[in-house]
Amino acid sequence: MIIPSLDFIKGKIVRLYKGNYNKKTFYKVDIYQKIDEYIQQGANNIHLVDLDGSSCPQNRQKEILTIISFFRDRVNFQVGGGIRSKSDIEDLFRAGTKKIVIGTLAILNPDKFKYWLKKYGCENFVLAVDVHINNQKEYKIAINGWKKITTITLDSIINEFLPYGLKYILCTDISRDGTFSGPNIYLYKYLKKYFPHIILQASGGISSLLDLDKLKKNNIEHVIIGRALLESKFTVLEAIQCWQNVL
């Protein structure tokens, strides 16, 4: 499935380069108009990221609830960024959010995430694993809007949550995010090999329809696309048609 992504800071659509808040590009487009455009081109799911919340949970943008409520009957949303509490979770579900994306909290407070998986249902959560690949080619997890690289490995965090029903993973190679350098196919092949039952969302580096072709041929279920759509490398409609036509 093709999932368009919109990141925003203070209500404005933005893209970061390799997750760096000091290297951001703002786009002069209205978020409501852009969501409407994506829906009209065939998007059934949209990924929203509150970058203010990702950087500092106390700065979460409440407007996101209004956006979700406005479009809830037309498209499914998965939402991430600074989600830390039960009230955050329940506010998003009440607004109409279909899936909640949890990253930093799952790393810092795994017991709370395990509880949420059990209480609200594993179908309703996506674990965001943002990966930093070090000089030893180890997959280390980044948190707090990618500002801190932990010693926790990709394998260990997935294995911790599998017994609690974890089903969906959004994996981003942060060295490729916003770069147009192509997706890390090797990383995704690794995940599909060692965690074959996980439903994977690939993110980072998408620049062309050929990238989508490669991901589909490697059995990746979903692709998150942000900057390539905002900068008209291709349209949502073209991406969906490409995805459907890959054999």
The pair of structure tokens assigned to 7 is 């990141």
DSSP 34-80: HHHHHHHTT-SEEEEEEHHHHH-GGG--THHHHHHHHHTTT-EEEEE
Q: Of residues 50, 130, 177, 211, which has the active-site annotation?
A: 130
DSSP 211-228: HHHHHHHTT--EEEE-HH
What is the three-class DSSP state of 242? helix
**Contact between residue 206 and residue 176 where contact means Cβ atoms under 8 Å apart:** no
Known catalytic membership, residue 130: yes
Q: How far apart are CA 115 and CA 8, in angstroms?
A: 29
The pair of structure tokens assigned to 2 is 């093709």
Query: Which residues sit opposite 210 in a β-bridge?
Result: none
Q: How far apart are CA 241 and CA 229, in angstroms?
A: 14
Known catalytic membership, residue 177: no
Q: How far apart are CA 126 and CA 109, in angstroms?
A: 16
Q: Of residues 7, 52, 177, 211, which has the active-site annotation?
A: 7
The pair of structure tokens assigned to 76 is 């499914």
| Closest listed residue to residue 246, CA positions, set 207, 208, 205, 218 | 218
**Residues with catalytic annotation?**
7, 130
